[in-house]
Amino acid sequence: MNSRIKKPQNFVRTALVLLLAGATSGCVTDGVESTTGRPLPPKPRKVAPASESSSINAISVLKSQQPMDTTGNGFPNLLGVGVYLFARPYPIPRFADGTLVCSLFSPGSFDQLNPLANDPVVSWTFGPEMMAEARVNNLIGPGYQLSLDLGAVGLNSLELNSADLVVQFLPTQFGDGIIYSSIQRVPFRLY
C-alpha cells in the first residue's frame, strides 16, 4: 500500500518540476526588431519648420491616380492635386505667398531645361487668394489641395489619351526663382 502512495507523489513532484522548468525557460529578446528581423526605425524627433523668410526651392506634387468623370460624358474631367512647397534643407513643407500654375502638356513635350519651349494644352492659375483658400494641413504638413477641372477652363474633353502634368510656383517675393515640379503622366481614359 505504501508503494501505491509513493507513485502519485513522485508523479506530482515530477510534474511540478517540469512545470517550473517550462515557466522559467522561454524566449529571451535582447533587442526590439520588426517581424522581418530588421531593427525598428529611430523614434521621430521634432524638427524646426522653415522660416517665412526662407526661399521656396522645391515643390512636391501628389495627384489622384486618374481623373474622374463628373459630367457623365464618358471623359475624365476632374483631377485632384496636392502641392507642397519646401525651403530645403528644411524637411517640412510650408505655406508661401505666390501663384501656382498647373499645366497639362502633350506627352513628352515639356522640356525641363527650357520650360518655355512649348505651350501647354491647358493651364489653371491659382493666385494668392485662391491659394489661401486651398490651404490644408495634413500628415505631410502644410500644403494646397487643388481641383483641376477641364470644365472650369471651357473644355469637356482632350484629344489626348494622356498628358504630362507640370506645376510651377511663382513666388511674390522678389529674388525667388520660379520652381517647377517633376513631370507626372495623367491618363485620360476610363478603364
Instruction: Find out whether 65 and 78 touch, Cβ atoms under 8 Å.
Output: no
Place of cell 517540469: 18
Residues for the chain: how many in total?
191
Place of cell 474622374: 68
Question: Where does residue 80 fall: left (phi above 0), alpha (psi -120 to 50 degrees), or beta otherwise?
Answer: beta
Tens-digit pLDDT profile for residues 47-91: 777 887 788 889 999 999 889 988 888 888 899 999 999 988 888
Is residue 178 helix, strand or coil? coil
Tens-digit pLDDT profile for residues 130-169: 999 999 999 999 999 999 999 889 888 788 889 999 999 9
Q: What average pLDDT does this structure show over 105-111?
A: 92
CA 80 to chain centre: 13
Nearest to 183 by CA among 170, 171, 169, 167: 167
pLDDT at site 55: 86
* Greatest mean pLDDT among 12-21, 22-31, 132-141: 132-141
pLDDT at site 95: 93
Q: Which residue has the higher pLDDT, 44 or 132?
A: 132
Q: What average pLDDT does this structure show over 115-135?
A: 93
What structural domains does the chain harbor? Answer: 58-187 (2.60.40.1930)
Cα–Cα distance, 12 to 170 (Å, whole number)? 83
pLDDT at site 166: 95
- pTM attached to this predicted model: 0.73
Q: What average pLDDT does this structure show over 95-115?
A: 91
Cα Rg for the chain, rounded, in angstroms? 30
